[in-house]
Chain A
Amino acid sequence: MSAAAVHSLWTTAATSPLKEQISKIDAPKIEYGQLSPTLIVIGAAVLGVLVEAFVPRKSRYYVQVFLAVVALAAAFAAVVGLAAGGDGTTKAHIAAMGAIAVDGPALFLQGVILLTGLVAIFTFAERRLDPEAHGNRVDSFAAQAASVPGSDSEKAAVKAGFTTTEVFPLALFAIGGMLVFPSANDLLTLFIALEVFSLPLYLLCAVARRKRLMSQEAAVKYFLLGAFASAFTLFGIALLYGYAGSVSYATIADVVDGSIQNIDPALADTMGNDALLLIGVAMVVMGLLFKVGAVPFHMWTPDVYQGAPTPVTGFMAAATKVAAFGALLRLLYVVLPGLRWDWRPVMWAIAIITMLGGAIVAITQTDIKRLLAYSSIAHAGFILAGVIATTPDGISAVLFYLGAYSFVTVGAFAVVTLVRDAGGEATHLSKWAGLGRRSPLVAAVFAVFLLAFAGIPLTSGFAGKFAVFKAAAEGGAGALVVVGVISSAIAAFFYIRVIVLMFFSEPKADGPTVAVPSPLTMTTIAVGVAVTVVLGLAPQYFLDLANQASVFVR
């Protein structure tokens, strides 16, 4: 933009009626009740920071766990209350001056994020897996994240029995951001939510107790690539503002549809310029696809999943995906339905390469966490197939899939934390040989999760996969279903390979042992198995729920 244009922008702004508007601006009206889930979680996170500052070190762990669990449970109760009061269906509306949508998809996904967050917090709090260090029970997190790995200060911190209890408020901040992300109703709120949940996650990735260098490397990679993605998103937002003269979803949608004709004189040069729209949309969507882990924006996934502390990986793999798909759905269905003939072919291509790419590369993996990372990429592709349907059925199928998938993921990573040898978690696949002979129950549970990932009937994975494929087929994307089915077959191969390894291979002499967890991790795994089986056998109730929740407010 030339200097003259900037100048004229200023002058018009200064002399236009806008000046009067500024003087008349009202105090913002905030619907505290409708926003209570987010407010509770963020409030508890702030309290958690205060706890770090004022509560004695010995009792911090207990206070933090208590605070986090109570906050998540209370927020979930608030979501249920709102949904029961009809805020998700008949009374769906836009809250907080147009910044936040309170509707079915938002409440459904908030409920899923809160529940997965809750069971993931249990694995954060697990302190029985690692051997005691100097008589202190420790969790999966570094004694003192700030001390250099292998340094004297680290040793001193371990000896003193420090633990990184900051992880709890960090996780709460991340969950708070994730709650806003799928309900954000303007682009700025979207971006702020993105940063609020991303920054704590970068930190959480870096604080593993074991293999600290890998963990820090993962965090740096995640941060750098995440920063790029955020920058793309922000640039895209700026371009969209230039196109529509607003960051509000509803206004942009109107401009895309062509139903708004009054052009803001300040933006007369750019408004309605399709080049801005297309490039802007591409950049914002790119940022979201990065968070989702879709090919070709998936490069961070395997490294970060492998390096991060496993409880964090489980949490991140489940909750981030839910939040990011929620935001993507809202963007595509609320803002850009008028543009769907432009974005659908692109998303087709992305869905296809994501499904196939994730499944094919996963075959060669030798580390269980990397394998699950590639599997999560393939799953992102399956969910995208549902997103492309552009029908209410597509929305409800995606919602259902996200709910089913997130519990399987948290459960599977919780099982990974149990299989350990002297170096911590034994994540190399060769070490899992013969696990089924040593610990039939743990291996059987993991097999259930793998079968659900593979989409074998009678598990939640099958119901979810069927729902999205059905929606895609009805939405005219039959070819995607065929590709999906082919990549399911490829994916089945490596899930089965792990099962073969666990049950049909002879145990190795120096193989890992399965640690006996506290009731915390057991709860996480039990919830995972229960959800997997119930959603597999009797999904109707949850499909109804997803159906009722499948209308976006605009």
Chain B
Amino acid sequence: MSFPLLTATAVLPAVGAIATAAVPAARRTAAKWLALLVSVATLVLAAVVLVRFEPGGDRYQLTESHSWIKDFGVRYELGVDGIAVALIALTALLIPFVILAGWHDADPQETGSSRWRPTQGFFALILGVEAMVIISFEATDVFLFYIFFEAMLIPMYFLIGGFGDRAHSGSDENAAAQRSYAAVKFLLYNLVGGLIMLAAVIGLYVVAGNFSLQEIAAARANGSLHMATSTERWLFLGFFFAFAVKAPLWPLHTWLPNAMGEATAPVAVLITAVVDKVGTFAMLRFCLQLFPEASKWATPVILVLALISIVYGALLAVGQRDIKRLVAYASISHFGFIVLGIFAMTSQGQSGATLYMVNHGISTAALMLVAGFLISRRGSRLIADYGGVQKVAPVLAGTFLIGGLATLSLPGLAPFVSEFLVLVGTFSRYPVIGIIATFGIVLAALYTLVLYQRTMTGPVKPEVSALPDLRVRELAVVVPLIAALIFLGVYPKPVTDLVNPAVKQTLSDVHKKDPKPAVEAAK
């Protein structure tokens, strides 16, 4: 038997989480270094996965398959396609930066009680989330995927509710109440989504008799598994609802601004750049493959919802007074683009959507983490409390600008490529929707540039006049992310090569071909 590489990639952070949690209370710094070490080692394993994966080869590679709960027809089945590999790499890449950026976020504020170990808990939970996210990208068994899709809510919930942003307005008690409200809202939204999916998962079992994605997809393709149209549609809706909550898609998005606003900046990155990707990833992997006909049936409605997300998220971002909530609404807008790309059902659209997931992860991480550094210096999340920061802390302002420009998809930075692909892919099939979606970009320019203008330019406010510039640890977080943004902006080929074969197969699952270019069709 070959080395179970995919299992190792998920088990390593899980074991690391337990080890980190077990570090004695007094050795906080050791726990941090241990967590960082584990996350880097996971990155190495993810890199091995990336190297061992052959883009032109079988659809699912590095597969593992073991019997698990025979009675439920559940197998421990792992396998990755190009899309999964790209997202595993993204996850493994971001976690070390999340840990590094959150280095001091969980230091105990009061010394004394020796049994309460927030620092160990914080880093252990981050690694725990990483393990669960990675295994849900790897799972090709619907049940296995569901288990970790649900279970990751618990550590995420403790991260949001237990370790809030210290920069808040109002009293400590008020902040604690808001934080636990945000955590509960996050959990309830996602739990309800998950439970509705559970009903659909059970329904799928009743119809198909097992949970293997490959078996069911194959049986559906060759016609041996027939689903009544209404059954397929109900099951699709059950799955899609859960993923739309997670993604999040309008009108199920309202938990995200609360969660991202109240959580610390690194945890906010974890939510939007890592965990939410499981939702959009699962739309590609499960909704389209298992329920191709229903996916096509639902496409018009989903496209409209995606369009509303794009415009509505961007409009609300323009109106935000809180920096972190602004980034959250921007993310909602971006998730709209991702869903648009997926359900446009063209190869450019879906390649663009996958690429978008990766790029959005990196660009949001860069913007949000720099914003977090800024907020921790001033102790306020309100845009109005800043002004003229670029004169005091030029490096901070510069990196913030690059993160912002990436968010508005400036050509030359990575998100441009993906946004362009999504729009082209959408336009070739649905020109009107493509045109309306373009307004999202205009609004993106508005909210990022206004944010930059209000916080960084203008006269220096007295409260920010003594802000220190980025420290070495902070630079170590930001510089690699910006480098990745520039590299993928100029040379996106490695990722597109990885993703394209998988996208072609997904499209063939739904029996869709790319529309002919208009010029060619006219001939």
A residues neighboring B (CB under 8 Å): 437-440, 451, 456-458, 462-463, 466-467, 469-470, 473-474, 478, 481-482, 485-486, 488-489, 492-493, 496-497, 500, 503-506, 538-540, 543-544, 547
Q: A488-B198, A489-B191, A506-B173 are in contact. List 4 more A-B contacts (CB 8 A).
A: A470-B72, A470-B205, A488-B195, A506-B176
Q: Are A540 and B176 in contact (CB under 8 A)?
A: no
Q: Which residues of B contact A489 (CB under 8 A)?
A: 188, 191-192, 195
Interface-located stretch among B63-71, B214-222, B429-437, B440-448 = B63-71
Q: Are B151 and A504 in contact (CB under 8 A)?
A: no
Nearest CB on B from A5, distance (A): 52
> Can you list 22 pairs linking A and B with CB atoms under 8 Å apart?
A440-B116, A456-B150, A457-B147, A457-B148, A457-B150, A466-B198, A469-B198, A473-B206, A478-B206, A481-B202, A481-B203, A482-B199, A485-B195, A486-B195, A489-B195, A503-B162, A505-B176, A506-B176, A538-B69, A540-B68, A540-B69, A540-B71
Q: Which 7 A-B pairs have the closest CB atoms?
A: A457-B147, A543-B71, A504-B180, A485-B199, A485-B195, A489-B192, A457-B150
B60 within 8 A of A: no
Nearest CB on B from A374, distance (A): 18
Q: Which of A457, A474, A478, A543 has the most CB of B within 10 A?
A: A457
Nearest CB on A from B177, distance (A): 9
B224 within 8 A of A: no
Q: Are B206 and A474 in contact (CB under 8 A)?
A: yes
Number of interface residues of B (CB under 8 A): 39
B113 within 8 A of A: yes
Q: Which residues of A contact B304 (CB under 8 A)?
A: none
In the complex, A543→B67 CA distance in Å? Answer: 14
B53 within 8 A of A: no
B interface, over-half SS: helix
B residues neighboring A (CB under 8 Å): 67-72, 113, 115-117, 146-148, 150-151, 153-154, 157-158, 161-162, 173, 176, 179-180, 183-184, 187-188, 191-192, 195-196, 198-199, 202-203, 205-206
Q: Are B150 and A492 in contact (CB under 8 A)?
A: no
Residue of B with least CB distance to A396: B71
Nearest CB on B from A541, distance (A): 10
State which of A440, A473, A486, A497 has its C-beta within 8 Å of the C-beta of B203: A473
Q: Which residues of B contact A540 (CB under 8 A)?
A: 67-71
In the complex, A503→B183 CA distance in Å? Answer: 12
Q: Which of A439, A458, A467, A485 has the most CB of B within 10 A?
A: A485
Q: Are A493 and B188 in contact (CB under 8 A)?
A: yes
Q: A440-B116, A489-B191, A492-B188 are in contact. Are A503 and B161 (CB under 8 A)?
A: yes
Q: Are B69 and A539 in contact (CB under 8 A)?
A: yes
State which of A458, A467, A503 has its C-beta within 8 Å of the C-beta of B158: A503
Nearest CB on B from A136, distance (A): 31
Residue of A with least CB distance to B197: A485
State which of A439, A496, A544 has its C-beta within 8 Å of the C-beta of B187: A496
Residue of B with least CB distance to A393: B71
Q: A493-B188, A540-B68, A540-B69 are in contact. Are A504 and B179 (CB under 8 A)?
A: yes
Q: A467-B72, A492-B188 are in contact. Are A485 and B198 (CB under 8 A)?
A: yes
In the complex, A473→B176 CA distance in Å? Answer: 42
In the complex, A470→B191 CA distance in Å? Answer: 19
In the complex, A538→B69 CA distance in Å? Answer: 7
Residue of B with least CB distance to A486: B195
Q: Are A500 and B206 in contact (CB under 8 A)?
A: no
